[in-house]
Chain A
């Protein structure tokens, strides 16, 4: 690159720039920059005002929506119905209290339903059935010879068997009552 610059080159650059500027300035002067500026400033101010108005509205609207949603969620949570299979412990205790104890005669139970004979409906029927069953058992034992060489199996008395059976029935009835109560609730 030539480090030295001729004066003519400099003049040439100056003349070219002057030509360009003069021509552009002629157009520029024909337009009123001040007037155009005032119009733009006014338009900008209007835009800023509209923006600030939207901003003013948008914040309370967002807060109100948030509050409404929160309140709705809170209310839904408070008034939610309990789950259908949920059994309250008090209900369970009440059902158990209604059941007769094994040691007490079933007839004494105040809320025992009359239709369920053989389980807790009539104490006399139960006693007589137990007696006849014991008699049959004794007869069978007399008729059947004992095997001396077989494995020793613990033999349950008939009373014990009936106790087990009775407990099974009590549990079954408790469960039936419990299901019925939970459905009603």
Chain B
């Protein structure tokens, strides 16, 4: 692929950087990790930019990289937490948001915990939709499932999250 075309594709990819960051935030539940993950995503995309055949497929291709990178990261993080028994990343987020009110902080904590408790397939659909604002078609292509399946997973995920927030709010 010519260097000019590569640069053009990279520019196109960079226009989605906020969406990439939001999805990384949804998966990692930590802004610092989300920044690092966004960098990793763009580095991977830069290295394999020659595989894109059409500039129209950039967004979809990029979000697939985001999803895979974030799932890998979550897997590694789970292994590290099992061995190190470190504190929850939620505490790091709270430390970064001192201006948030106590109630909102508690609700946010509940939301993060609810998302982290979702089954993998529901979690990825929920994060891609709620944080990345992907359409149902884009979601279906990114996770490799039918739109109907994606919608049903998303619905189950939303109910589970809402119930968890409600339950923790009443405690």
Task: Show the binding face of A for B, using Cβ within 8 Å.
Answer: 1-6, 9-10, 12-14, 16-17, 19-21, 23-25, 27-29, 31, 33-34, 36-37, 40-41, 44
Main SS of chain B's interface residues? helix
Q: Does B17 make an interface contact (CB < 8 A)?
A: yes
Q: A9-B165, A10-B162, A25-B18 are in contact. List 15 more A-B contacts (CB 8 A).
A: A2-B159, A3-B159, A5-B162, A13-B130, A16-B111, A16-B165, A19-B108, A20-B25, A21-B131, A23-B31, A27-B31, A28-B21, A28-B34, A29-B18, A37-B39
Once the chains are docked, how many angstroms separate the CA of A33 from the CA of B34?
A: 12
Once the chains are docked, how many angstroms separate the CA of A25 from the CA of B93?
A: 13
Q: Do the beta carbons of A21 and B159 come within 8 Å of each other?
A: no
Q: Does B38 make an interface contact (CB < 8 A)?
A: yes
Closest residue to B107 on the A side, CB-wise? A16
Q: Do the beta carbons of B42 and A21 come within 8 Å of each other?
A: no
Residue of B22, B35, B100, B165 touching A21 (CB-CB under 8 A) = B22
Once the chains are docked, how many angstroms separate the CA of A28 from the CA of B21?
A: 8
Q: Which residues of B contact A13 (CB under 8 A)?
A: 111, 130, 158, 161-162, 165
Q: Which residues of B contact A17 (CB under 8 A)?
A: 26, 111, 130-131
Closest residue to B40 on the A side, CB-wise? A40
Q: Which residues of B contact A16 (CB under 8 A)?
A: 104, 107-108, 111, 165
Instruction: Please name 9 pairs of A and B residues whose Cβ atoms are closer than 8 Å in the assembled complex, sorted by A.
Output: A3-B159, A13-B130, A13-B165, A25-B18, A27-B31, A28-B38, A33-B21, A37-B43, A40-B39
Closest residue to A29 on the B side, CB-wise? B18
Q: Do the beta carbons of A33 and B162 come within 8 Å of each other?
A: no
Task: Show the binding face of B for A, using Cβ within 8 Å.
Answer: 14, 17-18, 21-22, 25-26, 31, 34-35, 38-39, 42-43, 46, 93, 96-97, 100, 104, 107-108, 111, 130-131, 155, 158-163, 165-166
Q: Do the beta carbons of A41 and B46 come within 8 Å of each other?
A: yes
Q: Which residues of A contact B166 (CB under 8 A)?
A: 9
Q: Do the beta carbons of B21 and A25 come within 8 Å of each other?
A: yes
Q: Do the beta carbons of B18 and A28 come within 8 Å of each other?
A: yes
Once the chains are docked, how many angstroms separate the CA of A31 from the CA of B158?
A: 32
Once the chains are docked, how many angstroms separate the CA of A19 from the CA of B166?
A: 18
Q: Do the beta carbons of A21 and B39 come within 8 Å of each other?
A: no
Closest residue to B11 on the A side, CB-wise? A34
Q: Which residues of B contact A10 (CB under 8 A)?
A: 158, 162
* Cβ of B118 to closest chain A Cβ, rounded Å: 12
Q: Which residues of A contact B107 (CB under 8 A)?
A: 12, 16
